[in-house]
Amino acid sequence: MPSQEQWQLSGSAPELYERYAARYMLGPWAPGLVAQAHLKPGERVLDLACGTGLIARLVAPAVGVTGRVTGLDLNAGMLAVARALPAPPGAPITWVQGSALAMGFPDASFEVVLCQQGLQFFPDRPAAVREMHRVLVPGGRVALSVWSGVSPYHAAVGEALRQHVGAGAAASFSASRVVPDAGELRRLVVEAGFRDVAIEPCVMNVRLPAVEGFVLSHLAATPVASAVAAVDSRARAALAEHVGRALRGYVDGDGLTLPDEANVVTALA
């Protein structure tokens, strides 16, 4: 299986992921996903494909000291950053390295499974959704999100990568946006045994810093980091200029304001 399929980072990329991708791209969506779970004190919650633990750290205060939070991710570097960040108040968080396809938890281990922007990277999505169902108690809740379109930022960066780095890097970068649509999401969740399935399309304006400075830092936090580092500095500068030009219409003060879209799926086990 190609490594970009599972969105794997190496070297310093997980630290940069926390600083750039988690802060600016994923962070604004996290409170909305957590709110969909209607968490109660004392619940056991799994943050699946937790990355650097954005969702898990929001969940810990919501379920309180009697709750339990587990973050599971395939990537050791992401988990190392998660472990190094200050623990929030509330439930203790356990970080576990493992695959969404075979989680290793006993049946009925959690009241809630949350998964923000992970499903599209799982090489066997039906198996992963069946695992989510298996580890939930009967009546347990799942809330997961996947992007529902290619944002102007992703379109501009994908094209700039194609022109200045190569088609492989462009395809790898764009993999996060190759997602199941609403119909496929519903089918996946229903076929895994979930009921009361709801799919909510969500749109948000996301704020980014001045993009010519931001884009290369952001790319260093993605699976294309080494491909971008391998081209010469003129190509990197041209890439940043290309993105700046393409997104001129979104400049707002000292940064950019851009629309983005995601589908949020909720269901009961």
Residue at 95: amino acid letter: W
Output 17 or 214, the one with its CB closest to ligand SAM.
17
Q: Round to whole Å and give the CA distance between 47 and 71.
A: 5
Q: Which residue is nearest to ligand SAM (CB)?
A: 51
- Total number of residues binding ligand SAM (CB under 6 A)? 22
> What own/partner pairs with CB < 8 Å and gap ≥ 24 does 128-134 have?
128/100, 128/101, 129/188, 129/189, 129/191, 129/192, 129/194, 130/192, 130/193, 131/100, 131/101, 131/102, 131/103, 132/48, 132/100, 132/192, 132/269, 133/192, 133/193, 133/194, 133/269, 134/107
Interatomic CA distance for residues 38 and 58, integer angstroms: 13
Query: Which of 34/211 has CB closer to ligand SAM?
Result: 34
Please report whether residue 151 would count as binding ligand SAM according to CB under 6 A: no
Does position 122 interact with ligand SAM (CB under 6 A)? The reply is: yes
Q: With binding defined as CB under 6 A, does residue 20 bind ligand SAM?
A: no
Q: 75 near 9, Cβ under 8 Å? A: yes
220 counts as binding ligand SAM under rule CB under 6 A: no
User: Contact with ligand SAM (CB under 6 A): which of 13, 37, 50, 262?
Assistant: 50
Instruction: Give least dist CB 54 to ligand SAM, A.
Output: 4
Instruction: Report the residue from 13, 57, 63, 118 that binds ligand SAM according to the rule CB under 6 A.
Output: 118
Is residue 99 within the footprint of ligand SAM (CB under 6 A)?
yes
Cβ-based nearer residue to ligand SAM, 4 or 244 = 4
Q: Rule CB under 6 A: choose which of 54, 91, 143, 267 binds ligand SAM.
A: 54
In angstroms, what CA-CA distances link 30 with 56, 91, 150? 10, 18, 19
Q: From start to end of the chain, where are the E strands?
A: 44-48, 68-73, 93-97, 110-116, 136-147, 195-209, 251-252, 255-268
Decide whether 73 or 111 has the Cβ nearer to ligand SAM: 73
Residue placing its CB nearer to ligand SAM in the complex, 109 or 117: 117
Among residues 26, 113, 224, 262, the one that binds ligand SAM under rule CB under 6 A: 26
Q: List contacts with ligand SAM (CB under 6 A).
A: 6-8, 22, 26, 49-51, 54-55, 73-75, 78, 99-101, 116-118, 121-122
